[in-house]
Amino acid sequence: MNYTLLSSPLQGFTDFRFRNAQNKYFGGIDTFYSPYIRLNGKMIIKPSYERDLLPENNMGLEVIPQVITNDAEEFLFVAKYVQQLGYKELNWNLGCPYPMVTKSGMGSGLIAHPERINQILDRAHSETDILVSMKMRLGYENSEEILDVLPILDRYPIKNIAIHARIGKQLYKGGVNLDAFQLCVDHSKHKLYYNGDITSVAKFKEMQERFPSIDHWMIGRGLIADPFLPSMIKKDSTEYPDNKIELFTAFHDTLYGIYSESLSGSTHLLLKMYHLWEYFSLTFSDPHKVLKNIKKAKSIRNYEATVASIFKSERFKR
């Protein structure tokens, strides 16, 4: 069956720099969601959001912008803004689990308020012609919350609903709830996308077998940990290319180079790289040791030497 692979957004990771580098060195992703725009009460788009979405920074990439809000005016403002940049679709985040977001009734904290969702969708569909898609969890407190939202979504020409099969309260702990995802498939007339814990070719195949009607798959953390993953899924192969470490080195050096230009000071740069390595290290032979060494590198010189030695020893092990 034909299928589409989408990069699930990770704030702080999948910005335009990451998207371009992933696409250049590894490919395999059909569509990238950009991390969400949050207005924080002011009708102003921050320059960092703007940079992330400018068409010239996303040449050759299929990108869908995302917003997080519980306010119709904000939704309409962001919709108009992304349309001006040439985008046809706006994805609405009802998935974010962090208390700072959910306590103010946004992200997965909005799922328990179907009427509010209805009001916003009503205005979005009567006052703009933007295509709306959703990204949701199953609920915040429990996985039944979404079942009261799906009939409301059925009233609108929503493009699709991507579901991360966890509840907000879980954050990222525990497993995905596949039975609850199946219930959503059974109770929605819309096209559903699956999201959650696709970290290997084997896991992808397991999900494909479990949900034969799903043909859109979103990969979040698994793409940072292993940027080869989407192309391996597409090739239906668990074999890495012979030049795996060379490719990964080029990818790393590209990101490192761009971030050293765009971030101010070595502390910021090293922190950014450390956060990336929290994921990168997972596909190295000894993740714990790799991350420990990166953490110990407190200067640019140390960091560069540490990375060179990690790549060298990984090459030697193959």
Ligand X SMILES: Cc1cc2nc3c(=O)[nH]c(=O)nc-3n(C[C@H](O)[C@H](O)[C@H](O)COP(=O)(O)O)c2cc1C
- Report the residue number, 34 or 249, with the smaller CB distance to ligand X: 34
- Among residue numbers 239 through 268, which ones bind ligand X (CB under 6 A)? none
Dihedral (CA of 24, 222, 98, 140) sign: positive
Smallest gap from Cβ 223 to ligand X, in A, equals 7
Chain centre distance of CA 316: 33
In the list 221, 226, 249, 314, the residue contacting ligand X (rule: CB under 6 A) is 221
Stretch that binds ligand X, among 16-24, 204-212, 220-228, 230-238 (CB under 6 A): 220-228
- Of 65, 220, 227, 230, the one binding ligand X by CB under 6 A: 220
Determine if 95 is a binding residue for ligand X (CB under 6 A). Answer: yes
One of 23, 66, 143, 293 touching ligand X (CB under 6 A) = 66
Based on the shown chain and the rule CB under 6 A, indicate whether residue 230 belongs to the binding site for ligand X: no
Burial call 200-215: b when 16+ CB within 10 Å, e when fewer: bbebbeebbeebeebe
Considering only the stretches 69-77, 113-121, 143-151, 219-227, report the one whose residues sit in contact with ligand X under the rule CB under 6 A.
219-227
Q: State the nearest-atom distance from the C-beta of 199 to ligand X, in Å.
A: 7
Q: How far is the CB of 134 from ligand X (least distance, A)?
A: 10
What is the C-alpha to C-alpha distance for residues 308 and 65, in angstroms, rounded to an integer? 36
H/E element, 272: helix 266-280
8 binds ligand X (CB under 6 A): yes
Tokens 């328990």 sit at which residue? 112
Q: Residue 53 is which amino acid?
A: L
Contact by Cβ (8 Å): 269, 300 = yes
State which of positions 119-148 bind ligand X (CB under 6 A).
135
Among 93, 177, 231, 281, binds ligand X (CB under 6 A): 93
Residues between 167 and 206 that touch ligand X (CB under 6 A) = 195-198
Residues 6 or more apart in contact with residue 7 via CB below 8 angstroms: 14, 19, 22, 29, 31, 32, 33, 218, 219, 220, 223, 230
Whole-number minimum distance, CB 190 to ligand X, in Å?
17
C-beta of residue 196 within 8 angstroms of C-beta of residue 176:
yes
Q: Which residue has the tokens 């990101």?
A: 255
Q: Least separation, in Å, of the C-beta of 316 and ligand X?
A: 31
Binding footprint of ligand X on the chain (CB under 6 A): 8-12, 35-36, 66, 93, 95, 135, 164, 195-198, 219-222
